[in-house]
Structures are given as C-alpha cells and as structure tokens.
C-alpha cells in the first residue's frame, strides 16, 4: 500500500511540474515590452528629461474657403457600380433643393460632379456655413496629357486620405477626361456661369 501511494505522489508531482513548465512557456515575458512609466522614471534617474506626450494636431484655419489641392491623382465614385456606398449614405454637402443632404445613390453617374477634402475650418464661418458655401461650387478638372477638361460641381467630401487621391469625379467625367483612376489632373475653380460637362478648347 505504501509503495502505491508513493508512486501516485511521484506521478502527481511530475504532472504538476510539467504543467508548470507549459504555462511558463505559453505566457509571453512581460519584460519584453517595457512599461512607459518605468522608462520615464529610468530616464529621470539618468538625468534626462522624460518624454512628453505630443499634443493632438490642430486643424489649420483658412481665411476663406479654398481648394485643398490644385493638382493630384484622380478617383471615381457614385453610380450603381460603386460598391463602397450604402443605400442610406448621404452626401457631405447640402446640394439638394433648399439645402437638403441628398443620398449618394441619387447621383446620376452620367452627370458631372466631384468630391474633395474641403477644409471646414474657415475664419468667421461655422463648418455648416462652409459646407453650404462649397455645395454645388463649380470646379475645372483638366487632364494635362490630352488637354481634355470638364466642369464638375462639388457634392461630397473625399476621397479618403489613405488612397493618395486628390479628387474623385463621376464615371462620366472620368470618361470625358479620357483618364484612368490614379492619373494626374489639374484642378481649379471654374466660373459660376460655366456649363457642367466637357469644355471646348
């Protein structure tokens, strides 16, 4: 009986030690990622100034509404083939009658419209006033390779900064420019009386 108990105890001890081994291997060492507080106190003890957290970057304020870019890469958006749009997504600018924010799906891909990253921070204007200022403003977009140019109206905010694109236009505007997504274009304000669409040379 005594020998049996001893054997059982030995097995139990072996199991416990192997379990302990596995647990210590599975857990990552905490010393690999130093604590910010520890590194700060270490820097202070060495006579160095502790790093201060950087303040959030304040948006720049323009004196008046202006284009964020006069040239850059071209994108396209809107229409039934645009899979990045949800049925209820609304345009960022109040372009509808009486300043209504229309749905993106209401855009006609055969018309001429655009989106840019407008700066809503303008002196003596609220962001809402800036949006109303930009709504339906006319822009001239030119393909420098072919010389083709179109006038489009501002309807939305975008494209996303991560894309590297400066402006997005309607499928019809892209086709009229004879351009492809990612092509370089020139961007300027157009006369308010200009007709939307292709501009004759």
- List, for residues 111-162, the tens digit of each pLDDT value: 999 999 999 999 999 999 999 999 999 999 999 999 999 999 999 999 999 9
pLDDT at 87: 79
pLDDT at 117: 97
Output the DSSP codes for 31-96: GGS--HHHHHHHHHHTTPPPPPPPPPPPPP-BSS---S-SEEEEEE--STT-TT--TT-B-SS--S
Q: In degrees rounded to 5, what are phi and psi of residue 93?
A: -110, 145
Pick from 164, 200, 189: which is nearest to 74 by CA? 164
pLDDT at 48: 57
Residues 143 and 177: beta-carbon distance below 8 Å: yes
Q: Which residues of the chain have pLDDT under 50?
A: 1-45
Q: Return the C-alpha torsion angle 4, 8, 10, 12, nearest 10.
A: 180
pLDDT at 52: 60
């Amino acid at each position: 009986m005594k020998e049996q108990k001893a054997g059982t105890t030995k097995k139990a001890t072996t199991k416990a030690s192997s379990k302990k081994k596995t647990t210590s291997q599975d857990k990552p060492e905490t010393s690999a990622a130093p604590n910010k507080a520890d590194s700060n106190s270490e820097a202070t003890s060495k006579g160095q100034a502790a790093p201060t957290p950087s303040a959030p970057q304040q948006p720049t304020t323009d004196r008046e509404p202006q284009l964020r870019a006069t040239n850059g890469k071209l994108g396209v958006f809107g229409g039934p083939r645009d899979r990045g749009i949800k049925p209820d997504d609304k345009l960022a600018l109040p372009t509808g009658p009486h300043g209504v924010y229309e749905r993106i799906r209401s855009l006609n891909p055969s018309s001429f419209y655009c989106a840019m990253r407008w700066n809503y921070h303008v002196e003596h204007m609220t962001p809402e006033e800036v949006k109303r200022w930009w709504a339906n403003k006319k822009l001239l977009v030119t393909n420098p390779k072919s010389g083709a140019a179109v006038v489009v109206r501002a309807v939305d905010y975008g494209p996303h900064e991560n894309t590297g694109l400066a402006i997005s236009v309607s499928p019809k505007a892209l086709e009229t420019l004879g351009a492809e997504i990612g092509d370089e274009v020139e961007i300027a304000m157009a006369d308010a009386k200009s007709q939307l669409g292709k501009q004759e040379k």
